[in-house]
Amino acid sequence: MGLIGVLVLLGAGLTAPWLAPFDPWAPTTAAQLQPGWPHVLGTNDLGQDLLSEMLYGLRLSLLVGLAAAGLSTAVGAVVGMVAGTRGGWVDEALMIVTDTVLLVPGLPLLIVLVAYLGAGFWNLILVIGLIWWTPTARAVRAAALQIRRMPYIEAARAIGASQTRIVRRHVLPNTVPVLAARFVIAVPEAVLTEAGLSFLGLGDPRYKSLGLTLHQAFAGGALLNGSWWWYTFPVAAITLLVCSVALLGLDEGSGRSR
Amino acid sequence: MRRHLLWKSLRYAGSFALLLLLNFLLPRCMPGDPLVHLLGIEDFVRFPEMVAEVRARYGLDQSQAMQFALYVRNLIAGDLGYSFHFGVPVADLVTRRLAWTLVLVVPALGIGGLLAGALGAVAGWHSGAPAERWLTFGVLSLHSVPQYGLAMLALFVVAFHLDAAPLSGLSTERGLIDVLRHALLPILVLGLSSAAHLYLIMRNSVADLRPRPFVTAARGRGLSSSALLWRHVLPNALLPFLALFALGLGFSVGGALMVEVVFSWPGMGTLILSAVDNRDYPLLQGCFLLITICVLAANWLNDILAGIIDPRLRRLTP
């Protein structure tokens, strides 16, 4: 079920330019329109078509989510691998750093970082990716520690395989399931984070995103003038996206998801 | 036990030092001179001697190491600097706002935690039953709704349509009842969203423990199902639950941000945002520091509690 949801949303996001019935940037005179025909989900205060906005927003959310999750998984894999295979003081130092980043409250740190670096598409990916790598690092380290103690690694070492070879050929391939599970968990985290930052007005204003639509709805007084469609649909879209990815990853392993 | 605590405390001290360093370095990595923000670009260019004087006054002409020492010394004295946007000392502002956030967070997590713990335990015990599957599916969906989305929907339904809660406009002059009236909805939203998370944790750990041999053995001794759950399984499931609860408590001081924004609640979250909007760096640093301290304190408390609940943990650490 999760898979179907993910595929449908992924397809809708990727084909947004063809699927969208209107140009999401083109303002029309039909502002604050209730859902109906031809604007299926209504329009916003500038008369932009909400459905088209959301399709483009979905694309951005997915792009940022996938890229940031990929980055965080990669960073986590490297840190965890080095810590797990080197051991000793390297391990200890890396774990203290990991714990520290894990302890730092994510959202405030993100806000501070975005405030310092400036909002932008690439900065968002970078910042989100650099915040969420810690659980991956811990998981990979644990897996690497486990694998390193296995007899076949000892055998490989006995025939004279170098440390690099052991790590690359034996340890790394065996942590792939852990990495895959972490990646699946990291995607909704990244999507939620991006949407949250955009909702706060800290996203990239040049791209349509679900969070940006919500930000505009909130700032545009949608709550007060009764334009319920303006925020209920984007909220539903984010929920659907996160929920279907979560269902997909449900049996892949449990983890901190926030 | 003492060794365990000492080791943990040492780790925390290390983390805290790193965080302090991060907090110190972040604004200094910023492009541009902080004095431009302070004096305005015009004065900055026109009066170089004034710039030099202010630079000396704030100790910015000293070496980085010297500045860090100064920063730590001021921190110990409780001096977090001066917010140039609000025109008050950061320490005063931050503690006042923290109190407002705690008004939301403490009851929300208290209620949410109890509810989630009890429901999660029962659900985990009966995992696989149709009712449990629907409940878990519902909770999972709830968990997927972003907090601000939930807050907006709650405002829309309860405040706008049912007219059962005020939309905004909190005022301390109208007394406690008014504060409660305004706090109810944000507490509900925060409680619900944290409960969803905690429910899933509790359910999974109880469901994990159910097929274990010690449970079967206890059942064999003729214990009733409820005694089994509450006396034998729950204490074992409590540990991860408690860890996440403590983490949540610490995080929610900053994590209530979204809810605060939607409800215009004068807490830490809205303070951080206004600090970002106004480029009020001393304030931003102060907020961040305080939130970090909250998280560290919550974790430290959790470690102590975990050691008390589970004696095995005391021996695990080197």
Whichever domain contains B222, its CATH number is 1.10.3720.10
Q: Is residue B271 part of a domain?
A: yes
Instruction: Give the mean pLDDT of B253-270.
Output: 79
B144 touches chain A (CB under 8 A): yes
| pLDDT reported for residue A254 | 41
**Judgement on whether residues B249 and B105 belong to the same structural domain of the protein:** yes
Q: For residue B120, which of B210, B185, B189 has the smallest C-alpha distance?
A: B210
- Whether B163 shows a pLDDT value over 60: the answer reads no
Rounded Cα gap, residues A224 and A199, in angstroms: 18
Domain boundary among B76, B105, B139: B76
Which residues in chain B touch residue A188, judged by CB atoms under 8 angstroms apart?
144
- Whether A121 shows a pLDDT value over 70: the answer reads yes
Which tens digits make up the pLDDT trace of A16-44?
666 666 666 666 666 666 666 666 666 66
**Judgement on whether residues B65 and B102 belong to the same structural domain of the protein:** no
**Judgement on whether residues B203 and B249 belong to the same structural domain of the protein:** yes
**Judgement on whether residues B159 and B18 belong to the same structural domain of the protein:** no
- Whether B239 shows a pLDDT value over 60: the answer reads yes
A231 touches chain B (CB under 8 A): yes
- Whether B50 shows a pLDDT value over 70: the answer reads yes
**Judgement on whether residues B70 and B100 belong to the same structural domain of the protein:** no
| pLDDT reported for residue A258 | 31
**Judgement on whether residues B43 and B178 belong to the same structural domain of the protein:** no
Task: Sketch the domain layout of chain A as residue ranges.
Answer: 68-226
**Residue A61 near residue A194 (C-beta atoms within 8 A):** yes
Rounded Cα gap, residues B129 and B9, in angstroms: 44
Of A245-254, B139-148, B183-192, the one with minimum mean pLDDT is A245-254
Which residues in chain B touch residue A192, judged by CB atoms under 8 angstroms apart?
146
- Whether B86 shows a pLDDT value over 80: the answer reads no
**Judgement on whether residues B41 and B164 belong to the same structural domain of the protein:** no
Domain count, chain B: 2
Cβ–Cβ gap A105/B144 under 8 Å: no
Q: For all residues of chain A together, what is the average pLDDT?
A: 76
**Judgement on whether residues B248 and B301 belong to the same structural domain of the protein:** yes
- Whether A10 shows a pLDDT value over 50: the answer reads yes
Rounded Cα gap, residues B129 and B122, in angstroms: 11
A225 touches chain B (CB under 8 A): no
Which tens digits make up the pLDDT trace of A69-114?
889 889 988 888 888 877 778 888 888 788 777 777 677 777 777 7
Domain boundary among B54, B76, B98: B76
Of A17-31, B65-79, B136-150, the one with minimum mean pLDDT is A17-31
Rounded Cα gap, residues A193 and A72, in angstroms: 13
Share of chain B above pLDDT 70, in %: 81
Interface predicted TM-score (ipTM): 0.71
Q: For all residues of chain B together, what is the average pLDDT?
A: 77
**Does residue A24 or residue A238 have the better pLDDT?**
A238
Alpha-carbon distances of A134 from B77, B200, B290, rounded to whole Å: 33, 21, 22
**Judgement on whether residues B178 and B283 belong to the same structural domain of the protein:** yes
Cβ–Cβ gap B19/A104 under 8 Å: yes
Long-range contacts of A146-152 (CB under 8 A, 24+ apart): A147/A171, A147/A174, A147/A175, A148/A84, A148/A85
**Residue B70 belongs to domain spanning:** 2-76
- Whether A158 shows a pLDDT value over 50: the answer reads yes
**Judgement on whether residues B117 and B179 belong to the same structural domain of the protein:** yes
**Crossing angle of helices A228-249/B147-154, nearest 10°?**
140
B37 touches chain A (CB under 8 A): no
| pLDDT reported for residue B140 | 82
Length of chain A: 258
Instruction: Give the mean pLDDT of B283-292.
Output: 81
Which residues in chain A touch residue B140, judged by CB atoms under 8 angstroms apart?
243, 246-247, 250
Q: For residue B108, which of B187, B20, B196 has the smallest C-alpha distance?
A: B187
Rounded Cα gap, residues B9 and B296, in angstroms: 10
Rounded Cα gap, residues A110 and A125, in angstroms: 11
Q: Is residue B82 part of a domain?
A: no
- Whether A251 shows a pLDDT value over 70: the answer reads no
**Judgement on whether residues B113 and B255 belong to the same structural domain of the protein:** yes
User: In terms of CATH architecture, what is A68-226?
Assistant: Orthogonal Bundle (1.10)
**Burial of residue B30 (number of CB atoms within 10 Å: 0-12, 13-18, 19+):** middle
- Whether B170 shows a pLDDT value over 60: the answer reads no
| pLDDT reported for residue A255 | 40
- Whether A184 shows a pLDDT value over 60: the answer reads yes
**Judgement on whether residues B246 and B190 belong to the same structural domain of the protein:** yes
Tell me which residue in B143, B152, B204 faces A235 most closely, judged by beta carbons.
B152
